[in-house]
Amino acid sequence: MDTLPQRLQQAGYATHLVGKWHLGFYRKACLPTRKGFDTFFGSLTGSVDYYSYGSCDGPGLCGYDLHHDEGVAWGQEGKYSTTLFTQRARKILESHDPTKRPLFLLLSLQAVHTPLQPPKSYIYPYRDMANVARRKFAAMVSTVDEAVRNVTYALRKLGYYRNSVIVYSTDNGAQPFTGGSNWPLRGRKGTYWEGGVRGVAFVHSPLLRRRRRVSRALLHITDWFPTLVGLAGGNISQSRGLDGFDVWPTLSEGKESPRQEILHNIDPLHRSPPEKAPGPRAKAPPASSSEDPKTKKKKKKKKKKTLKQKPNKKSSFKLKSSKKPGVSKTAAIRVGDWKLLTGDPGHGDWVPLQMLPTLPGRWWNLERSLLPPRPAPAPKNIWLFNISADPFERQDLANRRPDVVQLLLARLSHYNRTAVPVYFPPDDPRADPNRHGGAWGPWVGEEEEEEEGKYRGVYKKGGRAGVMKNKMKKKKKKCRLCKLKAFFLQLNTGMMSSRI
């Protein structure tokens, strides 16, 4: 499979990546410089510290993560990453001659990803914001604004601007727990609701024929590949099996988008949670008097399970009836105006702007507390929305339009027939930065044989993160303050490992 920079290189472009990679690096063949970029300056992982460039993948598994091409860029501690990456981008522009060779520059800033670490001088304009996380988030957005301004100024000054296309885009929805907001959209980052999958973007270019307008056309991130390759004069016919469309006429002239549907995801491993009894906390029924306590303890002990996913060409998206759908596999698809979600799409609340200086739970459930109490909804695993008429996903039409449900389930089945088994191996202890001079980097040698066959189609529960969580559970502390500290420690670990 070829990449966008590889295809642009073939079209005669110089290609550079500055900032976050986060697409794997277990062997050198996975590094940006082996995937089509002439140069690389940035981080390989996610959630990197903005000043120290330390990155952790769990307690005790931390290392330095700032790289130049295929080596470690030591000695940059104390320099704010957004500023450092912007300076690097400007140096690339200054050293390149656009009259001799075209340029593709991907500036992938960390901001505004966690950890929330804005420079103090940027916080001052937002000092009146009561919520600390929101205040820091706003300050970090200002650093991004400044970076975009500085790069655009360099494009104008150095003669690139008149024949340039600037694309600015997010990769997912915001995380309300860390200062972001998707209001009034439903859900958050990591979910299949609009708040998780809908991203904001803008395209700025003198080459646009219709400017200063908002496009609500259906676009997907895979569309950038054929769109940018086409703009560069490349040949997309050499890239077989593309999911994307050339959407430049849609962006530039306002024409109808060639895209009519988006498969958001089909997750074969994550399924709907079992139905629970109503109530905030469901407790297990007491043991009967005839049951031996020792026997009960033995029953509770479970062996570590390994989930094996076998290739299945048949679809598992079936309905038992229009009223009682039997769909447990987590998936989401958009076809035209319609969007279908099955299984467990994730946290589905509408989270208001966090303006209160309180713990997250207060404002997280603010809408529920303001509305009159209603009976808890029955457990379900299928939703249908008309996104054009209801972008906030408040009116579930699954029961009213079973015909549309069946149509979209058929499209999910169509995509699911060509799905390959999930490859999710256990954690590899050889990746520990302590084994590589304290820095993250490739840990599998080029001469080593592939071991994918050993783990192909296998997802192991537990691993290093699971072992650490079990150890934390054993060391329970009685005091309330200790429990609070343990909660935030576990939360931070989860944020680092899952990159929320």
Dump pLDDT digits (tens) for 226-260. 999 999 998 888 788 889 999 999 999 999 999 99
Check residue 483 and give its pLDDT.
Answer: 56
Is residue 67 over pLDDT 90? yes
Between 325 and 61, name the one with better pLDDT. 61
Between 380 and 139, name the one with better pLDDT. 139
Is residue 171 over pLDDT 70? yes
Q: With bands split at pLDDT 50, 70 and 90, how would you rate the model's confidence at 131? A: confident
Check residue 59 and give its pLDDT.
Answer: 86
Tell me if the pTM is above 0.85: no
What percentage of the chain reaches a pLDDT higher than 90? 61
* For residues 41-68, average pLDDT: 95
Extents of the domains making up the chain: 4-260, 265-273+304-344+381-416, 467-500
Please give the full DSSP string across 256-287, using - where no structure is assigned.
PPS--EEEEEEEEEEEPPPP--SSSSPPPPPP
Q: With bands split at pLDDT 50, 70 and 90, how would you rate the model's confidence at 488? A: low
Out of 4-18, 184-198, 410-424, 461-475, pick the least confident: 461-475
Query: How big is the chain by its Cα radius of gyration, in Å?
Result: 25
Going by C-alpha positions, the residue among 41, 162, 3 that lies closest to residue 98 is 162
Check residue 368 and give its pLDDT.
Answer: 59
Distance CA 433, CA 439 (A): 5
Question: For the segment 379-391, what is each residue's pLDDT rounded down to a tens digit?
Answer: 788 999 999 999 9
Between 349 and 403, name the one with better pLDDT. 403
Out of 7-16, 452-461, 480-489, pick the least confident: 452-461
Q: With bands split at pLDDT 50, 70 and 90, how would you rate the model's confidence at 263? A: very high
Q: Does domain 265-273+304-344+381-416 match CATH 3.30.1120.10?
A: yes
Three-class DSSP category at 415: helix
Distance CA 419, CA 312 (A): 8
Q: Side-chain half-sphere of 269: how many Cα atoms within 13 Å?
A: 14
Distance CA 263, CA 197 (A): 11
CATH number of 4-260: 3.40.720.10
Question: Where do the DSSP E strands lie in 237-381?
Answer: 261-271, 306-308, 329-335, 338-342
Q: Side-chain half-sphere of 433: how many Cα atoms within 13 Å?
A: 20
Cβ(109)–Cβ(151) under 8 Å? no
Question: For the segment 191-222, what is each residue's pLDDT rounded down to a tens digit?
Answer: 999 999 999 899 999 999 999 999 999 999 99
Is residue 144 over pLDDT 60? yes
Check residue 369 and give its pLDDT.
Answer: 58
Out of 28-37, 216-225, 349-358, 360-369, pick the least confident: 360-369
Is residue 277 over pLDDT 80? no
* For residues 100-120, average pLDDT: 95
From residue 175, give the alpha-carbon distance in Å to each of 76, 180, 331: 29, 5, 20
Cβ(309)–Cβ(422) under 8 Å? yes
Between 212 and 269, name the one with better pLDDT. 212
Check residue 423 and give its pLDDT.
Answer: 79
Q: With bands split at pLDDT 50, 70 and 90, how would you rate the model's confidence at 465? A: very low
Check residue 269 and give its pLDDT.
Answer: 83
Beta bridge partners of 329: 271
Is residue 314 over pLDDT 50? no
Is residue 315 over pLDDT 90? no
Check residue 7 and give its pLDDT.
Answer: 94
Check residue 205 and give its pLDDT.
Answer: 96
| Average pLDDT along the chain | 82
* For residues 316-338, average pLDDT: 68
Is residue 326 over pLDDT 70? no
Q: With bands split at pLDDT 50, 70 and 90, how would you rate the model's confidence at 355? A: low
Check residue 420 and give its pLDDT.
Answer: 86
* For residues 121-147, average pLDDT: 94
Q: Is the peptide bond prior to 115 cis by the omega test (within 30 degrees of 0)?
A: yes
Is residue 108 over pLDDT 80? yes
Out of 149-153, 179-183, 403-407, pick the least confident: 179-183
Is residue 484 over pLDDT 70? no
Check residue 276 and give its pLDDT.
Answer: 52
* For residues 395-403, average pLDDT: 96
* For residues 336-362, average pLDDT: 80
